[in-house]
């Protein structure tokens, strides 16, 4: 069977949860027995989001093959369990650089290179990358909102491709907002009519309308939307705010038969839907007997929830595994000092220090780690979190007061975290870190080896700096166990403190591989350790 395509667009406002909706539909189709692949096309000019601040763009999600990508890919992987790769996220920057490089190489000799057809052809070729023998249905989400100037080439490309594929082989789904106007006491369909109007004016006629809303709307609104947007009433779907968890979204959509409707529109047989694993996960998540656990996340981009998306999700997965209700205390590391750390962390049962870049907030993280270490509060350090734990230990236990990372203090007297030779001399900032999956060998007898239940693991990285091997003997002599190393033994990938109930830090990002139905063992173990502290 040749690959069928679904194109997901968004209207009215951003942040409607287009990625979540696409991921939910992906899960439902997978659970109906189809091989699916997902992809996001982003209309901005950065070649990838790796150089953007988390405040601009939220978390940068890293794929197995080392691409820095949009955080929606995290939803795709968490919902479907299917790994994304370098073809799962394209940006306008990437599309244009490829076209311009080809033009310079003489690839278009004699021609004027133009948005149509050259940029649109390049976009279609990006979409084709996720077709193939292992894909029955390819789902492509277009970033941005209908009407944005920069989305135009993408919409034109999907219009062309939809037409080339022909009826029954491709489907447009448009996600829109039905706002509730309090003063009028009414839900309004006009913004949706207008956003569908924009799409229709460029030749895209959405076949399925998914309507985000605070509360359910009645038949009258459904009929009105159907009439004005040119969609059949049964193809107007409600996606109301969920009560407890985003993982309820697929079930809400399934109740309205979205997956069945999609398959019918794509001329595909409707096999049975098996949501047993997902339902069991949700039952654990919502179990009323779960006791509460509070974990502090000490970061520098705390005010934007999306900055630590995968961390919060992986903690939630750990809570599902441990049958606990998770409460997260988000703490701005810059505000933590030796004078207030006790009060800031009062009552938490675990402390997590996530990754980060730059100088701001590092001292606050070190301060929180010291408190967790000395007071035997379960501590989980990830990437910069591990680097800060190393600095803290060398300063406060080994007596090297000037221990620091050369990222923070280039001339540090004791550069305990520093650049490896292969990173020295690199001046380009985009895509030049240690990125993607690397193998790691665990040390027998450690918490890590125990929870992974194997000694050879693979985890995803995104960092430039490393533990400086010169200080390895000193920390080991003082009680740190190197719990994970690169297979050649050269790089320290994990550390633990056996004298502490749960003190584990890793140079990689385990949060990227956790899913609600397969919680990451480190997160599950950390949350369990925190729960046993209450
Ligand atoms: N800034 C640190 C480095 O580049 C840590 C990166 C991270 O936490 N992702 O090594």
> At residue 265, does pLDDT exceed 90?
yes
Strand order in the sheet with 434-442: 324-332, 291-299, 350-353, 379-382, 503-506, 492-496, 481-485, 434-442, 456-463
Domain shared by 300 and 225, yes or no: no
**Rounded mean pLDDT of 312-322?**
96
**Rounded mean pLDDT of 456-478?**
96
Residue having the nearest C-alpha atom to atom 7 of ligand 1 = 355
Residue having the nearest C-alpha atom to atom 3 of ligand 1 = 463
> Which atom of ligand 1 has the smallest separation from the CA of 509?
9
Domain shared by 274 and 297, yes or no: no
Mind listing the pLDDT tens digit for each residue in 70-116?
999 999 999 999 999 999 999 999 999 999 999 999 999 899 999 99
Domain count, the chain: 2
* Active-site annotation holds for 67: no
Cβ(381) to ligand 1 under 6 A? Answer: no
Q: Is the dihedral of CA 397, 401, 403, 408 positive or negative?
A: positive
Categorize the per-residue pLDDT at 290 as very low, low, confident or very high, splitting at 50, 70 and 90: confident
> At residue 190, does pLDDT exceed 80?
yes
Categorize the per-residue pLDDT at 513 as very low, low, confident or very high, splitting at 50, 70 and 90: very high
Q: Given ligand 1 and candidates 357, 386, 404, which is best to mutate, with the most ligand atoms within 8 Å of its CB?
A: 357
Domain shared by 389 and 315, yes or no: yes
Q: Quick one: pLDDT at residue 1?
A: 65
Categorize the per-residue pLDDT at 184 as very low, low, confident or very high, splitting at 50, 70 and 90: confident
Residue 153 sits in which domain range?
4-280
* 8 Å CB contact between 430 and 441: no
Q: Quick one: pLDDT at residue 433?
A: 85
Cβ(44) to ligand 1 under 6 A? Answer: no
* Active-site annotation holds for 87: no
Domain shared by 234 and 374, yes or no: no
> Which atom of ligand 1 has the smallest separation from the CA of 382?
8
Share of the chain above pLDDT 70, in %: 99
Domain shared by 274 and 305, yes or no: no
* 8 Å CB contact between 406 and 418: yes
Predicted TM-score (pTM) of the model is: 0.95
Q: Given ligand 1 and candidates 61, 307, 355, 369, which is best to mutate, with the most ligand atoms within 8 Å of its CB?
A: 355
Mind listing the pLDDT tens digit for each residue in 478-503?
999 999 999 999 999 999 999 999 99
> Which atom of ligand 1 has the smallest separation from the CA of 385?
8
Cβ(511) to ligand 1 under 6 A? Answer: no
Secondary structure element (H or E) that encloses residue 438, with its range: strand 434-442
Q: Quick one: pLDDT at residue 189?
A: 86
Cβ(464) to ligand 1 under 6 A? Answer: yes
Q: Quick one: pLDDT at residue 115?
A: 96
CA 158 to ligand 1 centroid distance, Å = 37
Domain shared by 330 and 257, yes or no: no
CA 465 to ligand 1 centroid distance, Å = 6
At which of 246, 280, 314 does a domain end?
280
Cβ(299) to ligand 1 under 6 A? Answer: no
Domain shared by 317 and 232, yes or no: no
Which of the residues 57, 152, 235, 509 is marked catalytic? 509
**Rounded mean pLDDT of 208-237?**
92
Q: Quick one: pLDDT at residue 51?
A: 86
Domain shared by 230 and 332, yes or no: no
> At residue 367, does pLDDT exceed 90?
yes
Domain shared by 210 and 90, yes or no: yes
Widest Cα–Cα separation across the chain: 74
Residue having the nearest C-alpha atom to atom 9 of ligand 1 = 355
Neighbouring residues of 388: CB distance < 8 A, sequence distance ≥ 6: 353, 362, 365, 366, 369, 381
Categorize the per-residue pLDDT at 423 as very low, low, confident or very high, splitting at 50, 70 and 90: low
Query: What CATH number should be reported for the domain holding residue 30?
Result: 3.40.50.300
Query: What CATH number should be reported for the domain holding residue 395?
Result: 3.40.50.880
Domain shared by 231 and 294, yes or no: no
Domain shared by 273 and 294, yes or no: no
Domain shared by 240 and 366, yes or no: no
Cβ(520) to ligand 1 under 6 A? Answer: no
> Which atom of ligand 1 has the smallest separation from the CA of 356?
8
Categorize the per-residue pLDDT at 305 as very low, low, confident or very high, splitting at 50, 70 and 90: confident
Which of the residues 383, 398, 440, 506 is marked catalytic? 383
> Which atom of ligand 1 has the smallest separation from the CA of 358?
1
DSSP string, 384-402: HHHHHHHHHHHHHTS--TT
CA 55 to ligand 1 centroid distance, Å = 16
Of the ranges 285-294, 333-342, 404-413, 494-503, which one carries the lowest mean pLDDT score?
285-294
* Active-site annotation holds for 509: yes
CA 466 to ligand 1 centroid distance, Å = 9
- The residue with tokens 């989001």 is 49
CA 384 to ligand 1 centroid distance, Å = 5
At which of 280, 301, 326 does a domain end?
280
At which of 249, 280, 311 does a domain end?
280
């Amino acid at each position: 069977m040749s690959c069928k395509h679904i194109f997901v667009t968004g209207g009215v406002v951003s942040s409607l949860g287009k990625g979540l909706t696409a991921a939910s539909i992906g899960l439902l189709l997978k659970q109906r027995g189809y091989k699916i692949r997902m992809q996001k096309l982003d209309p901005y000019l950065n070649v990838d989001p790796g150089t953007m601040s988390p405040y601009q763009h939220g978390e940068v999600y890293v794929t197995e093959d080392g691409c820095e990508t949009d955080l929606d890919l995290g939803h795709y992987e968490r919902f479907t369990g299917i790994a994304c790769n370098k073809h799962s996220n394209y940006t306008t920057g990437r599309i244009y650089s490829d076209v311009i490089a080809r033009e310079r190489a003489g690839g278009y000799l004699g021609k004027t290179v133009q948005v149509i057809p050259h940029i649109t052809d390049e976009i279609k070729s990006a979409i084709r990358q996720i077709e193939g023998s292992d894909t029955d249905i390819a789902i492509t989400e277009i970033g941005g909102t209908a009407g944005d100037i920069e989305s135009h080439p993408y919409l034109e490309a999907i219009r062309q491709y939809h037409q080339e594929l022909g009826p029954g082989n491709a489907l447009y789904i448009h996600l829109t907002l039905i706002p509730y106007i309090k003063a009028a006491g009414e839900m309004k369909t006009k913004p949706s009519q207008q956003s569908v109007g924009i799409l229709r004016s460029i030749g895209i006629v959405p076949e399925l309308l998914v309507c985000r809303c605070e509360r359910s709307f009645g038949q009258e609104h459904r009929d009105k939307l159907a009439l004005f947007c040119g969609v059949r009433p049964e193809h107007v779907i409600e996606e109301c705010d969920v009560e407890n968890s985003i993982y309820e979204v697929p079930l809400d959509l399934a109740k309205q038969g979205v997956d069945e409707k999609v398959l019918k529109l794509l001329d595909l047989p409707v096999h049975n839907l098996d949501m047993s694993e997902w339902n069991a996960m949700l039952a654990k998540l919502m179990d009323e007997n779960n006791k509460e656990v509070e974990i502090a996340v000490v970061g520098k981009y705390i005010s934007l929830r999306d900055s630590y998306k995968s961390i919060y999700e992986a903690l939630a997965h750990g809570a599902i595994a441990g049958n606990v209700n998770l409460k997260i205390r988000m703490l701005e590391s810059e505000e933590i000092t030796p004078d207030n750390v006790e009060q800031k962390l009062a009552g938490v049962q675990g402390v997590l220090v996530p990754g980060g870049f730059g100088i701001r907030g590092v001292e606050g993280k070190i301060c929180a780690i010291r408190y967790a270490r000395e007071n035997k509060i379960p501590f989980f350090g990830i990437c910069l979190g591990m680097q800060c734990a190393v600095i803290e230990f060398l300063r406060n236990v080994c007596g090297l007061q000037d221990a620091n990372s050369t990222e923070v203090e280039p001339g540090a007297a004791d550069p305990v975290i520093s650049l490896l030779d292969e990173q020295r001399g690199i001046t380009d900032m985009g895509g030049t870190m240690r990125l993607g999956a690397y193998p790691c060998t665990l040390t027998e007898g450690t918490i890590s080896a125990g929870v992974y239940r194997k000694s050879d693991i693979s985890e995803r990285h995104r960092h430039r700096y490393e533990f400086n091997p010169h200080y390895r003997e000193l920390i080991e002599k003082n009680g740190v166990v190197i719990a994970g190393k690169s297979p050649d033994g050269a790089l320290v990938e994990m550390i633990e403190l056996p004298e502490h109930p749960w003190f584990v830090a890793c140079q990689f990002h385990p949060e990227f591989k956790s899913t609600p139905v397969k919680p990451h063992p480190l997160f599950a173990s950390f949350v369990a350790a925190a729960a046993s502290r209450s």
